[in-house]
Amino acid sequence: MTVTLAKWTVKEYHELVATGVLRDRPVELLNGQIVEMPPEGPEHAYLGEEAAAYLRRKLGDRARVREARPITLVEQGSEPEPDISVVRPLGEVYYERHPYAEDVCLIIEFSKSSLGKDLEAKRKTYAAAGLKDYWVSNLKARELVVHRKPVNGDYQSVEVLREGTISLIEFPEVEMSVSSLFKR
């Protein structure tokens, strides 16, 4: 017997969320499946807050920095909630909808218990959506995994950094210390 999972569209997921059924459940939609998100530890939360504050200071009003807020990737049947997303400043557009792929400049995930999901399922989802700059701060290995150049559903450039600085593709003048993304 073959087991077939029911796939959800973004629209169906929004309708389910609106009913309140998922109100107290930390979930996100990935490739048509409703996936539970593990709780954040203090290190994860602290590093995410620090990185978001730094990006806000550096970017000013050129971009909006969102923390743990959805982005909508309709064609991928996904509505992930990345730890940090840097998106175009479209103002009240986001009152009506979450940012779409074309609005996203950078995604950063801080990973310990979610490392497998972030390096596999989310990587492929973000690449398929054409997101050009995807960083995973691996809190276990104390390294930054930088994914760039999405082609045919995967990234052609993957670089592992432990030190130095890195710039955002969209804002090359904005540099971040690599080590700030995974240690004190």
pLDDT in tens, 10-54: 999 999 999 999 998 999 999 999 999 988 899 999 999 999 999
The pLDDT tens digits of the residues spanning 136-175 come to: 999 999 999 999 999 999 999 999 999 999 999 999 999 9
Residue partners of 11: CB distance under 8 A and separation at least 6: none
* Residue at token pair 């993957």: 158
Say what the pLDDT of residue 113 is. 87
E strand or H helix that includes residue 121? helix 121-128
3-state secondary structure 7-44: CCCHHHHHHHHHHCCCCCCCEEEECCEEEECCCCCHHH
What is the total residue count of the chain? 184
Q: What is the pLDDT of residues 52-111, one digit of tens each?
A: 999 999 999 999 999 999 999 999 999 999 999 999 999 899 999 999 999 999 999 999
- What does the pLDDT read at residue 183? 75
Domains recognised in the chain with CATH numbers:
40-181 (3.90.1570.10)
Contact in structure between 126 and 118 (CB atoms under 8 Å): no
Please check whether residue 125 is in contact with residue 73, taking contact to mean a CB–CB distance below 8 angstroms.
yes
- Is residue 45 a contact partner of residue 73, using CB atoms and an 8 Å limit? no
pLDDT of residue 152: 95
pLDDT recorded at residue 4: 77
pLDDT at 109: 97
Return the pLDDT at 184.
61
Q: Which of 98, 92, 96 shows the shortest CA–CA distance to 28? A: 98
